[in-house]
Structure formats: C-alpha cells, structure tokens
Chain A
Amino acid sequence: MRNILIVARKEIQEGLRNRWVLATTLLLAGLALSLTFLGSAPTGTVGVRALDVVIVSLSSLTIFLLPLIALLISHDAIVGEMERGTMLLLLSYPVARWQVLLGKFVGHLSILAFATLLGYSAAAGALAATGAEIDAESWRAFASMIGSSILLGAAFIAVGYLVSALVRERGTAGGIAIGIWLLFVLIYDMALLGMLVVDQGQILSGGVLNALLLLNPADAYRLFNLTGSAGVSAFSGMAGVAQNATLNPSTLLAALAAWALVPLGLAALAFSRREL
C-alpha cells in the first residue's frame, strides 16, 4: 500500500510540474463557465432549474473531453517509461509491477478528479453566486454528474494503460489511443444509430440495445446523467427515453466501474508478463 502511495505521489508531483494539472483544470473550468453562462441564454434568467441545464451541457462536454484527457495522460504511462529507460530502474527497486501500475492509476485519477471537481464546481459556484435558485435535487444530480465523470475518466485511464502495456512503441500507443477515442465517442453512436434506422426494430430487441449501450462507457455515462434525474431528462429531451429505459442507474454505474476495473486488471496482467 505504501508503495502505491509513493508512486502516486510522484505522478502527482510530475503532473503539477508538467502543468498537466493546471492546464486540465483551467480548460475544464473555462469551458464549464462559458457553457454555464452561454447555455443559460436560451432559457433566460428566470429558469428555476438553471443547474439542470448546466448538467446537460456539462455532461455532453465531459463525454468528449474527459476520455481524451484521460487517454492523453495514460497512453504513455508504461511504454513511455520503458522507452525512456526509467522503468528499468524503477523495477529494480523493492516495488512490484502491479504496485507501479496501481500507483500511477491513483496518481493520474487524482489529477483528473481534482481538475474535474474544481472546474465544474467553479461553474456551479458561479451560477449560485448570480442568485439562481437551486434545489436539493439539482445539487444531487450535479454531484452524481461529477462523480460519474470521474468514473468515466477512470475507465479511459485504465483503457489507456492497457494499450500502453501491450504495444512496443509510444507512437503506436498514441495512435491507438486516438483511435479508441474516436471509436467510443463518435463512431460508436453513429454506427448504433445507423443500425437502428436500418433495422427498424425488426431484429434488434431492447435487450440487445441495452447491452450495446453498456458496451461503451461513454454511452453508459450519457444515459446515467441524462436520464438519472427527472428534471435533467426533461431538459435533455431524454424524458421519453428515460421512461422506457430498462437500464437503471446502478447498472450503468456498475458498467462504468467494470470499464475501469477490467482494463486495469488486464493491463496489470500484460505488464507483469512483459520482458524488459
């Protein structure tokens, strides 16, 4: 346990020094703040559920941005250190490979969680400061949005590690990471939509669709946040979907958690078998 924390601490230290933490936090806060104030323009200032609007726009932002940031931090974690030769020295120390991987995970996730928490809270804080009324349910939905965003980040960090543990070169890892991002964030939904249109409900049952949605962490995240609370789903235009959804929030969260844990376990396995 102590080794994991030592490695995590070093990753955070490096993240602070590299300005990763600063850049990510500023990026998320800046985008969140502009979405908050631009996004409230159509509903006007009288909207009583201002925070729900923010949740809708922020979770859409998260789906694009957090996986990208997570993959950028993580794809280099193993193959990069191996290429630079720092891994050889680190592994000659009394520390197991799984401890190195888990330490990096804790460190990278802390950086991402810090940036998300600070950036998004800034948006909510600014909204509250302008005098908008926000009820308890909206706050709960907002908190679970931040929590699930961090979980989404964890899933993509783990996927990035798996790539990093499997490939031989950093360039390959970078390419594959971008490919994974494109696949899960853009192509998957388009392909799914296309299939539904072509199929016209003939073959694809609700069960198959549910399974397909759980197979993409970004979709699980989207469903969790846009249908999770009644107020939010009304604004996101997902109310109809929410009523018919057979996937309850805990299933979606479990899917996200599995997306973090399974790739992490596979990455640890691949890393432990790797010859130096």
Chain B
Amino acid sequence: MTGTVEIRNVVKRFGKVEAVRDVSFSLPEGETVALVGHNGAGKTTLMKLMLGLIRPTSGSITVLGDDPAAGQFEARRRLGYLPENVSFNAALTGQETLAFYARLKREPAKSVAPLLERVGLTHAAGRRVGTYSKGMRQRLGLAQALLGEPRVLLLDEPTTGLDPALRHSFYEIVEELRGRGATVLLSSHALTELEERAGRVIIMNRGIKVADGTLDELRRIARLPTRIRLKVTDTGLANVPNWLGPVEGWRRINGHMVEIDASPERKIELLRRATDEGAPVEDLDVFPPTLDELYAHFLLSQETAR
C-alpha cells in the first residue's frame, strides 16, 4: 500500500549533528498521525524534509507522488503547512496576508473570506497583523494551511497559544478534513490532547523512530500496567489480600482508596475479583496507560538499550 507520504530510510545530517537517523514510515489517506518527541527529536526536521525545504542526506521521500525537493510544485499546491511559531509580515492586514498566500496557491480570491470566518478572524480581517495577539496569529496560520483543500496537512505544534474553545474548534476542522480523506500529521507536546485525536502515534527520540502504531498497539507493546482504583469500605481496607488475592503493586492512597497496577494479563482477573459478590468495593475506576506514560516508557527503553 502506498500512502500520501512515504519516507524511506531517511537520514539528515547538519554538520556533525544527525537530526534524523534512518527513519521510515508511510502515512495513508484519511488518517491523523501524531508525531511526538522532545525538542530536538527531529520532528520539525522531518516536516521540513516532507516540504522539500531541506534535502535528505540519504534515503528518499515522496509526498503525493512527487519528490518534494525536486522543484515540482504540483504537490505543494495540495499541501498545507503550519510552522511552529508562525509569523507574518506585520504591515499587512490579515485579509491581505491570506489573499497573498491564496494567489501563490492559485486559489480564487473569494476563498479568503470563508476561511477567515472559519477560524473566527472576520472581525479582525482589516487590521494589521502586527496588532494581532499570539492566538490570532496562530488562527491566521491555520487559515493559510487550510487554503486549497489540502490533501496533506503538516501541523507543527498547532495548538500552542490557542485557548481551550479554539483548540476544540481547531480539532473539529482537522477532523473534518481527515474525514474527507486528507492525511494530517500533528506534532505536539500536549500529549493528552493528542490522545483522543490521533489514530496513530509516531514517537521520535534523538532522530530515531522509537515507536509507531495505534495507541492500543503501543500499549500492548509497552505492556504498561493499567491502574485500577478501588473505593473500599473500612472493613475491606484492613485485609486487602484476603479478598483481592495475591497482588503485587497495590497501595493505599488514603483512608478508603486502593490503587493497583495491573499487568495486562491479570487485569480482567483482578477486575472480576473486585466486582465479586462479597468484595467490599463501593466504586471502581480503570485508567489505561496514557500517552504520557507510553511516551516516557518508550524513551526510557530506548535510552537503556543504547
């Protein structure tokens, strides 16, 4: 299967620094993929490579069937990019700025006003960009990335500076585009935010791809324990092993809560016992490992393997 973005054995060196080391992946249509990693993990470099702004030292990249660095601009017309810390010339108005980018993409001038409306900037369209707040600039950045119904969207830290309401509407727009078959690649630090949105996660560390898969797949590979939190009656609290069976890794949180780290294969068994007829359990919560924990796990396991 070939995706809209194909990356094969890509290496990128800046002088002595290896920013990307032998990375391969493929992004299919209609999928939201999260690119996760520390600063300097190679996320932005990967995006620049996909845009053809820099050339790989070795390996090959194909975006929408073209080599992005070959000077073929057909693919770029169907590509939206929102750089980290997007900035615009302060002298022009929001409307003029967007109209300029629309002309470069050969989009009709009438596509500008609806886009400004969509990101909620209609009221500020006639004001100079220099007067915009960080959030407004970010919205203008999103608007330009959405020009021309992109097939591939590369969004570098897209939600920094957006308030929660705007963040929500931002993800709605992304989801809508994905539904129409666009490939969306998101990089972010806000992992909890990506958790519900990204169908697939690629974790980068120091230029190496350390994990790649859906959240469920990553959870299976990582074999991280699921946290089960039980609200227990006072009598039950005194003799936990009696009714729960032999369990390692349980601890009291406060006077009436018990928390258990359950390995994947023991999870169901523990839940059965906790919900058994005679068990002194009043309430129960189950927390699967979060993206944060998975991320930490994969980074740690890669560091120790080196």
Residues in chain A within 8 A of chain B (CB atoms): 3, 6, 9-10, 13-14, 17-18, 84-86, 88-96, 275-276
Instruction: Select which of B51, B74, B85, B92 is within 8 A of A92 by beta carbon.
Output: B51
Asked if B91 contacts A276 (CB within 8 A), the reply is: no
Task: List A contacts of B74 (CB < 8 A).
Answer: 94
Task: List B contacts of A94 (CB < 8 A).
Answer: 73-74, 76-77, 104-106
Minimum CB–CB distance for B299 against chain A, Å: 28
Asked if A89 contacts B86 (CB within 8 A), the reply is: yes
Asked if A13 contacts B87 (CB within 8 A), the reply is: no
Mark B45-89 against chain A: 1 for CB-CB distance below 8 A, else 0: 000100101100000000000000001011011010101011111
Question: What is the total of A-B residue contacts with beta carbons within 8 Å?
Answer: 63
Asked if B88 contacts A86 (CB within 8 A), the reply is: yes
Asked if B89 contacts A276 (CB within 8 A), the reply is: no
Besides A3-B104, A89-B83, A94-B76, 15 new A-B residue pairs in contact (Cβ under 8 A), listed by A number: A6-B103, A13-B96, A14-B91, A17-B128, A84-B89, A85-B83, A86-B88, A88-B83, A89-B81, A89-B87, A91-B53, A92-B76, A94-B73, A94-B104, A95-B104
In the complex, A95 Cα to B106 Cα: how many Å? 11
Task: List A contacts of B83 (CB < 8 A).
Answer: 85, 88-89, 92
Main secondary structure of the interface of A (DSSP, over half): helix
In the complex, A6 Cα to B54 Cα: how many Å? 24
Asked if B48 contacts A276 (CB within 8 A), the reply is: yes
Minimum CB–CB distance for B106 against chain A, Å: 8
In the complex, A89 Cα to B76 Cα: how many Å? 12
B14 within 8 A of A: yes
- Closest residue on chain B to residue A91 by CB atoms: B53
Minimum CB–CB distance for B245 against chain A, Å: 58
In the complex, A204 Cα to B4 Cα: how many Å? 67
Instruction: Select which of A6, A85, A88, A276 is within 8 A of B100 by beta carbon.
Output: A6
Mark B89-107 against chain A: 1 for CB-CB distance below 8 A, else 0: 1011000100011011110
In the complex, A96 Cα to B83 Cα: how many Å? 18
Asked if A276 contacts B54 (CB within 8 A), the reply is: yes
In the complex, A86 Cα to B104 Cα: how many Å? 15
In the complex, A13 Cα to B91 Cα: how many Å? 9
Task: List A contacts of B77 (CB < 8 A).
Answer: 94
In the complex, A13 Cα to B95 Cα: how many Å? 13
In the complex, A10 Cα to B73 Cα: how many Å? 20
5 pairs of residues in contact across A and B, judged by CB atoms under 8 Å: A84-B87, A88-B53, A89-B83, A92-B76, A93-B101
In the complex, A6 Cα to B91 Cα: how many Å? 17
Asked if B53 contacts A92 (CB within 8 A), the reply is: yes
In the complex, A90 Cα to B53 Cα: how many Å? 10
Instruction: Select which of A6, A14, A275 is within 8 A of B92 by beta carbon.
Output: A14
In the complex, A88 Cα to B144 Cα: how many Å? 13
Task: List A contacts of B51 (CB < 8 A).
Answer: 91-92
With most chain A CB atoms within 10 A of its CB, the pick from B71, B79, B100, B144 is: B100
Task: List B contacts of A275 (CB < 8 A).
Answer: 14, 54
In the complex, A275 Cα to B51 Cα: how many Å? 13
Minimum CB–CB distance for A215 against chain B, Å: 35
Q: Report the 3 A-B pairs with minimum CB-CB distance, sorted nearest first.
A: A94-B73, A17-B91, A94-B76
In the complex, A14 Cα to B79 Cα: how many Å? 26
With most chain B CB atoms within 10 A of its CB, the pick from A6, A88, A90 is: A88
Task: List A contacts of B96 (CB < 8 A).
Answer: 13
Asked if B89 contacts A14 (CB within 8 A), the reply is: yes
In the complex, A9 Cα to B101 Cα: how many Å? 12
Minimum CB–CB distance for B141 against chain A, Å: 8
Task: List B contacts of A10 (CB < 8 A).
Answer: 92, 100
Task: List B contacts of A3 (CB < 8 A).
Answer: 104
Minimum CB–CB distance for B11 against chain A, Å: 15
Minimum CB–CB distance for B157 against chain A, Å: 13
Asked if B87 contacts A85 (CB within 8 A), the reply is: yes
Minimum CB–CB distance for A107 against chain B, Å: 12
In the complex, A93 Cα to B91 Cα: how many Å? 20
In the complex, A91 Cα to B91 Cα: how many Å? 20
Asked if A85 contacts B105 (CB within 8 A), the reply is: no
Asked if B105 contacts A86 (CB within 8 A), the reply is: no
Minimum CB–CB distance for A146 against chain B, Å: 28
In the complex, A96 Cα to B88 Cα: how many Å? 19
Task: List A contacts of B76 (CB < 8 A).
Answer: 92-94
Asked if A93 contacts B86 (CB within 8 A), the reply is: no
Task: List A contacts of B87 (CB < 8 A).
Answer: 84-86, 89
- Closest residue on chain A to residue B15 by CB atoms: A275
Minimum CB–CB distance for B165 against chain A, Å: 25
In the complex, A197 Cα to B69 Cα: how many Å? 56
Asked if B92 contacts A17 (CB within 8 A), the reply is: yes
In the complex, A9 Cα to B105 Cα: how many Å? 15
Task: List B contacts of A84 (CB < 8 A).
Answer: 87, 89
Minimum CB–CB distance for B90 against chain A, Å: 9
